């Protein structure tokens, strides 16, 4: 497996939008992507069927980052100007994760839900993992 791998809710419109943004701004093609509902998430133990799929997870060098920590790691990796948003890392984790949780709880209501996972363009297939 190539890492870092960004795990996302494959049924979430907001998550699909975020994955498309990361692909667009990831000039070095660092990130791979996999739905939380997929094989890889179950294989490495980042997704459990009994837990809600309401967070983005970043798997990098054997470490799993969740919620705002995952977002900040992605922004940092994308470089300028996106890494400027990492200034918000100075806020306590309960604040950044609290904001993340509000969006996560309401994402389907605000942005809608897909019936199936994102199907990438053929040119991007190698960046998507099962």
Domain containing 42: what range? 5-127
Beta strands 57-60 and 32-35 are unpaired
pLDDT for position 55: 83
Rounded Cα distance between 126 and 109, Å, is 31
Instruction: Specify the pTM.
Output: 0.87
Dihedral angle, C-alpha 43, 16, 85, 66, nearest 10 °: -20
Model confidence over 75-94: pLDDT tens digits? 999 999 999 999 999 999 99
| pLDDT recorded at residue 48 | 65
Number of domains in the chain: 1
Q: Mean pLDDT over all residues of the chain? A: 87
For residue range 51-80, what is the model confidence (pLDDT) as tens digits? 666 788 999 998 999 999 999 999 999 999
Position 103 confidence tier, pLDDT thresholds 50, 70, 90 = very high
Q: What is the pLDDT of residue 85?
A: 94
Question: Which three-class secondary structure string do you get for the chain?
Answer: CCCCEEEECCCEHHHHHHHHHHHHHCCCCCCEEEECCCHHHHHCCCCCCCCCCCCCEEEECCEEEEHHHHHHHHHHHHCCCHHHHHHHHHCCHHHHHHHHHHHHHHHHHHHCECCCCCCCCHHHHHHECC
């Amino acid at each position: 497996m190539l890492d870092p791998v960004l795990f996302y809710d494959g049924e979430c419109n907001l998550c699909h939008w975020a994955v498309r943004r990361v692909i667009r701004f990831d000039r070095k093609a660092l990130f791979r992507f996999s739905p939380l509902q997929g094989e890889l998430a179950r294989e490495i133990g980042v997704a459990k069927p009994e837990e809600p799929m309401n967070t983005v997870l970043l798997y990098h060098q054997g470490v799993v980052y969740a919620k705002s920590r995952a977002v900040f790691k992605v922004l940092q990796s994308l470089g300028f100007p996106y890494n400027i948003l990492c200034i918000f890392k100075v806020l306590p984790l309960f604040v950044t994760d609290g904001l993340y949780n509000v969006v996560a709880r309401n994402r389907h209501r605000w942005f809608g839900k897909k019936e199936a996972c994102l199907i990438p363009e053929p040119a991007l297939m190698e960046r998507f993992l099962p």
